[in-house]
Chain A
């Protein structure tokens, strides 16, 4: 039977003091169950989460650990209860691979918020098997967490949509990005550049905020209507009470972040939503009620997205021909990609091509 001889090999963290020096290991995959899909991996995107996890910035990780959760590949095996996929389908897996499927959140198409969620890597299945990620040859996941990729979208482009793309699409959709809305995007990296592309595709007027002058031309080409350099003094002055949504991809905060200034750019009941998650000791700067009350604004968070949102996003990408700005490398060079990502050097997302099998 195809897939039964699949070897599960991956580039793994073995020594946290050398966080981007990943060694090839063989690992035990998820125990195959009737609703599972097994995928032979061709591509994987490199996400900020990979860096936060490997550097131990989000806490002590499991060892050895294979990260990577922007996965594209081909179905090699399906369980007998799988209805959505067949062998040979081209599919993706993102940052989540399991949930309880019974709670209110799961039933409301909010499975990304299930309190018993299983993350694609650095988590553990109830039977004890450690979840290993996509810098590898193959993965198994419950069909709810496997997404069919439209023919028109190339695998190298689809890869980073699985986490970066979905993570910004979800709040843009939830908070009403669309025609006649003014949407601000703070931080134009992997997630931020997707937010510009999606918000434009959804019909909004887009304001991109960056502290990096060298990105301005690119951001205009991505379609942003306005590009604002946050390094400039009083950058927010002409934008007071303007934005309906301000989506922040910042994953570094600290007390010097002018959060009050960001909130002042929101129109009445406007929303500041962070998808960026910094290291555990990096809290938000102090917020006073007086920051929230003058414009009745809201400050929120968002975590990846649901399957429903993912399929919608892929259809948007397909119908509007949206392509991310990627840099491609063979998977053996993922360490270089990780270091460059940490140093903010990527323009705008790395995708690695699987080279172990």
Chain B
């Protein structure tokens, strides 16, 4: 069934890396439409730290012109003939991944977010050469495996940032057993961190939030954290030795002198420190000696977004428990302002952009 008016693909693009936050409306070539694809007219897009790392070149050189944004919500305009579970008019989301090989062990194990052949929502390329462009735009096309129906109860402006920030913390919380009887720490209460607090509480754990200074403490308590720790206080970790089952770190920049050893000492036996923060390429984790991980048999891990299975479970949990992220809404033309706000650490706690190039009925 064809859409009434064919979707025109235009987005706020970076054309000059030296002016990375000056984005101008640019038409682009979308993915070549295939039988398993879903086309979405975008209504909302969240602003992610990844957008910043990519535009500024911190993660390496970017394709030009470049449209970022991978916390996308919109309305389905068209589906390929093999698509069964999604139909035009549905409200859906797309996150940080738009493709994978669908054949390897990881894809078959519901770990498509770890497929070596994965395709990122922006700054990447399909095998036929078409470049992927992101959600600060009017539309996107993606394989149905990477398109997620949004539960009716969940508003689009809230769902948007769940597509990357939300699932990126939900996935490791779930993988490592967050739930009743567990003590979970969240380090860094920004977009991802605040979601980790909201989800970990909803999953039944006891939640400790770690944040620099006290400015966010009141908010974090309102989000449901059982305890808030100021990490600028010297020795804050000492009374918390051998406490946590899981520590989720959203830190994407380690200030000089931060000791990973002190943080790891807070883990209980076989506890896990999982980093979802991805610093710039020249920033490794602070130095470690094997003693730092053998003393409590702990593990340090990474995690990358989430699978469709994770996403659907998370959206269901959010709808059931009425989880609302703390967002600031802006029209999409103010994307540059939002990006600068993220860079300056000013957002409370996630920006969501409303698409304003071609409003969706």
Contacts and interface: CB of A to CB of B under 8 A. Distances in A.
Interface of A: 104-105, 108, 110, 113, 115, 171, 174, 240-241, 253, 267-269, 271, 273-278, 280, 282-284, 286-303
Interface string B275-311: 1011101011101111111111111111110000000
A113 B241 CA distance: 12
Contacts, number: 126
Contacts of B268: 104-105
Contact of A293 (B289, B297, B302): B302
B114 A278 contact: no
7 contacts: A110-B269, A115-B242, A268-B106, A268-B114, A273-B299, A288-B285, A297-B302
Contact of A113 (B175, B295, B301): B295
A297 B301 contact: yes
A110 to B, nearest CB: 4
Contacts of A290: 278, 281
A278 B290 contact: yes
A277 B289 CA distance: 8
B295 to A, nearest CB: 7
A254 to B, nearest CB: 12
Contact of A301 (B116, B277, B295): B295
Given A287-B284, A294-B114, 7 more contacts: A113-B297, A268-B106, A286-B285, A292-B300, A293-B275, A295-B114, A297-B301
Contact of A105 (B242, B279, B293): B242
Given A115-B241, A293-B302, A296-B114, A303 B297 contact: yes
Contacts of B297: 110, 113, 171, 174, 300-303
B361 interface: no
A292 B111 contact: no
Given A287-B284, A298-B272, A293 B298 contact: no
Contacts of A303: 294-295, 297
Contacts of B296: 113
A284 B294 contact: no
Nearest to A170: B297
Contact of A289 (B106, B277, B290, B292): B277
Interface string B148-191: 00000000000000000000000010010000000000000000
Contact of B242 (A104, A280, A297): A104
B128 interface: no
Contacts of B302: 289, 291-294, 296-297
Contacts of B284: 286-288
B105 interface: yes
Contacts of A277: 290-291, 294
Nearest to B294: A301
A269 to B, nearest CB: 7
Contact of B287 (A113, A268, A283, A291): A283
B289 to A, nearest CB: 5
B299 A299 contact: yes
Given A241-B106, A289-B279, A284 B289 contact: yes
Contacts of A300: 270, 293, 297-300
Interface string B237-249: 0000110000000
A284 B290 contact: yes
When A and B form their complex, which 6 residue pairs have the shortest distance between CB atoms, in order from nearest?
A292-B302, A301-B293, A300-B299, A301-B294, A293-B302, A298-B301
A180 B278 CA distance: 33
A301 B281 contact: no
A299 B301 contact: yes
Contact of A287 (B272, B281, B288, B299): B288
Contact of B301 (A108, A115, A292): A292
A289 B250 CA distance: 11
A280 to B, nearest CB: 7
B109 interface: yes
B299 A271 contact: yes
A298 B302 CA distance: 7
Contacts of B290: 253, 274, 276-278, 284, 301
Nearest to B279: A289
A350 to B, nearest CB: 23
Given A267-B105, A288-B284, A299-B299, A274 B175 contact: no
Interface string B107-127: 001010010100000000000
Given A104-B242, A278-B290, A301-B294, A241 B275 contact: no
A286 B301 contact: no
A241 B118 CA distance: 14
Nearest to A112: B297
A273 B297 CA distance: 9
Q: Which of B114, B268, B275, B292 has the most CB of A within 10 A?
A: B114
A284 B109 contact: no
